[in-house]
A and B are shown apart, each in its own frame.
Chain A
Amino acid sequence: MSAPAEAMAPALRHRLSLLLQRNWRSLVLFVPFFWLLLFFLAPFFIVLKISFAGSVIASPPFTSMIEWVDEGVMHIRVVTDNYAYLWEDDLYVKTYLNSLKISSISTILCLLIGYPMAYAIVRSSHTTKHILLMLIILPFWTSFLLRVYAWMGLLADQGTINGLLISLGIIDEPLRMLYTEFAVYVGIVYTYVPFMILPLYANMEKLDWALLEAAADLGARPMTTFFTVTLPMTLPGVLAGSLLVFIPATGEYVIPDLLGGGNVLMIGRVLYNEFNANIDWPVASAVAIALLLLLVLPMMLYQHIQGKETENA
């Protein structure tokens, strides 16, 4: 090889590797990016579009937004009736408020149960900690549907709880629990409490517990220490856990359907029925968009927290 070529080689190789690096990167990025654009982002625009369409009895059961009225005159029809309908019909507004009420109260209940549990797990010995964590995660791997179904057996009029209470002589008549709002609360707290415990645990695990001892040494009462030191330090975990419970609980379908029956109005259930039973796609789409608008702030807040977590790690 001649001297200039030899001098060129590293530069060339460098160039080539840079090029390869760049192309390899765009390939790694392109595949998942394209997938999400097609199957995650695009569908929302379709829902948005259909929410502004009129309902007709046809297949598909909605009117087209763009119509060609003779000789190339394009006619864009935007129907806002669906949203007006949601606003005017008492049922939808009530359902929204009821969903918010149920998911907020459930979130608070999860926090009340999950916080002490996460705290206890963090403060327990190495082996106990692992066993407890495994016990919390284990239900995740079994069927969600079957765990909700289990409560049907517990709460039914002839169910385990009523049977137990009657045989103990506490009550004479079975308590009506299944197909009430109470059952929905039990179901949501039961299935979502691990979502509260795990982010709280992850947050508490990283804390400097010497601060608590310092507060105690300086004469702070346990309650004072809790409200001025522990709670502020664990706030990011509280927020992450609460959002992880609140957001999916608001749109929940299975729990209100199986445990609440027809008596509990929740928006996820209305959406599902509007779509599958009433076959009113435009209204179902409008309900979906309205639900999304309701949840967009909590969702962005969650992403913000998650982003910070990843940066810190």
Chain B
Amino acid sequence: MNAGKRSAFLITTTCFGIAFLYIPMILLVVYSFNKSRIVPVWGGFSTKWYGVLFESEEVWEAVSLSLKIAAVNACFATILGTLAGLALVRFGSFKGRTLFSGMISAPLVMPEVITGLSLLLLFITLNEFVGWPNERGFTTITIAHITFSMAYVAVIIQSRLAGMAQDLEEAAQDLGAKPFRVLTDITLPLLAPGMLAGWLLAFTLSLDDLIIASFVSGPGAVTLPMLIYSRVRLGLRPDINALATLIILVVAIGVLIAAWIMFRQQKQRELELKMSEES
């Protein structure tokens, strides 16, 4: 759109909106270098809270548990979500389709307290009747996370499939490829970027979840959000600011790498397009 049409009002709102989103995060980072124990009162520059953070064994255990859950969850959620997305977009109508699509999209809007409570009660009931799971922790949290993350993956896969031309699949079928072969050789490779996006989203969703994990976890299994929560409930803590800074740093680096890869791919595509036009 032409620049002249953009009104001052829109620019102001956007600037304020972006500032609103980012100032709190910038302050988190700034106060992590505060010497004073009282977070919002500046007492000089110091990196001692990072030392406090790194010395805490609790933090390392929570980080490693959260990363393990997030990785296993992301793999399973990507597989299940991709299958669900395929079924919903490519299978036309089948028995139970309404129920299936309802169950796939409901976790997206279900309040976490309800999901958490209901899954915990399921695990307790299962334990009573079949003796599994006899302890809650890694497995139960992972199952709970898969259940809601697969919904997000399915949404991504659905939109990728809907926007994907079917001509390659049809060509393969016409050339005699069996449907399963079409799936493994054509559809899945085409879906790979979507599956990667889904994996990353599932991974982050899992790392971010506090409520569902608190419900379905047992004694001894403390994820990173659970640890952070138990500390900040009682007030501000400079070591949590240091942890937040590290998380923001990791995310920023990850996003920059992703943006760089996307930028390069786009350049590559433009170059190929140019070459094919010239030839």
Nearest neighbor of B1 in chain A, beta-carbon distance: A123
The residues of A that contact B236 with a CB separation of less than 8 Å are 149, 152-153, 156
B24 and A154 within 8 A (CB): yes
With A43-B121, A247-B109 known as contacts, the answer to whether A32 contacts B150 (CB < 8 A) is yes
Counting chain B CB atoms within 10 Å of each CB, the highest count among A33, A248, A250 belongs to A33
Question: Which one, B10, B83, B159, B233, contacts A123 given CB within 8 A?
Answer: B10
The residues of B that contact A44 with a CB separation of less than 8 Å are 118
B255 and A132 within 8 A (CB): no
Is A151 among interface residues, defined by CB-CB distance under 8 A? yes
The residues of B that contact A139 with a CB separation of less than 8 Å are 21, 25
Interface of A is mostly: helix
With A32-B87, A158-B41, A292-B114 known as contacts, the answer to whether A42 contacts B10 (CB < 8 A) is no
B27 and A153 within 8 A (CB): yes
Counting chain B CB atoms within 10 Å of each CB, the highest count among A28, A119, A144, A298 belongs to A28
B106 and A299 within 8 A (CB): yes
- Name the distance in Å between A159's Cβ and chain B's nearest Cβ: 5
Question: Which one, B6, B87, B107, B109, contacts A29 given CB within 8 A?
Answer: B87
Is B254 among interface residues, defined by CB-CB distance under 8 A? yes
Counting chain A CB atoms within 10 Å of each CB, the highest count among B24, B25, B81, B147 belongs to B24
B109 and A244 within 8 A (CB): yes
Nearest neighbor of A140 in chain B, beta-carbon distance: B204
Is A150 among interface residues, defined by CB-CB distance under 8 A? yes
- Name the distance in Å between B118's Cβ and chain A's nearest Cβ: 3
The residues of B that contact A154 with a CB separation of less than 8 Å are 24, 27, 40
Nearest neighbor of B119 in chain A, beta-carbon distance: A43
The residues of B that contact A114 with a CB separation of less than 8 Å are 17
Question: Which one, A36, A50, A281, A310, contacts B100 given CB within 8 A?
Answer: A36
Residues 160-208 of A at the B interface (beta carbon under 8 Å): 160, 163, 190, 193-194
B210 and A135 within 8 A (CB): no
B159 and A310 within 8 A (CB): yes
Number of interface residues of A (CB under 8 A): 93
Residues 195-231 of B at the A interface (beta carbon under 8 Å): 204, 207-208, 210-211, 214-215, 225, 228-229
Nearest neighbor of A222 in chain B, beta-carbon distance: B7
Stretch at the interface among A16-24, A66-74, A84-92: A16-24
Residues 78-133 of B at the A interface (beta carbon under 8 Å): 80-81, 83-84, 86-87, 91, 94, 96, 100-107, 109-114, 117-119, 121-122, 124-125, 128
Nearest neighbor of B42 in chain A, beta-carbon distance: A163
Question: Which one, A35, A42, A163, A276, contacts B122 given CB within 8 A?
Answer: A42
Separation of A243 and B111 alpha carbons in the complex (Å): 12
Q: What are 25 contact pairs spanning A and B, CB under 8 A? A: A21-B178, A24-B180, A32-B80, A37-B103, A39-B143, A39-B144, A40-B147, A43-B121, A43-B122, A44-B118, A141-B251, A145-B229, A152-B235, A153-B39, A153-B241, A154-B40, A194-B21, A258-B232, A258-B233, A268-B112, A271-B113, A275-B215, A288-B113, A288-B118, A299-B106
Residues of B within 8 A of A (CB): 1, 3, 5-6, 9-11, 13-14, 17-18, 20-22, 24-25, 27-28, 31, 38-41, 80-81, 83-84, 86-87, 91, 94, 96, 100-107, 109-114, 117-119, 121-122, 124-125, 128, 143-144, 146-147, 150, 154, 158-159, 162-163, 178-180, 183, 204, 207-208, 210-211, 214-215, 225, 228-229, 232-233, 235-236, 240-241, 243-244, 247-248, 251-252, 254-255, 259
Residues of A within 8 A of B (CB): 17, 20-21, 24-25, 28-29, 31-33, 35-37, 39-44, 46-47, 50, 60, 113-114, 116-117, 119-121, 123-125, 132, 134-136, 138-147, 149-154, 156, 158-160, 163, 190, 193-194, 209, 243-244, 247-248, 250-254, 257-258, 268, 271-272, 275-276, 281, 284-285, 288, 291-292, 295, 298-299, 302-303, 306-307, 310, 313
Q: A50-B121, A135-B22 are in contact. List 19 more A-B contacts (CB 8 A).
A: A21-B178, A32-B87, A32-B104, A40-B106, A41-B103, A116-B10, A116-B13, A117-B17, A120-B10, A120-B14, A144-B210, A146-B28, A150-B24, A159-B40, A244-B109, A288-B114, A288-B117, A292-B114, A307-B101
Which 9 residue pairs spanning A and B have beta carbons closest together? A251-B111, A43-B118, A150-B24, A120-B10, A32-B84, A43-B122, A36-B103, A116-B13, A21-B179
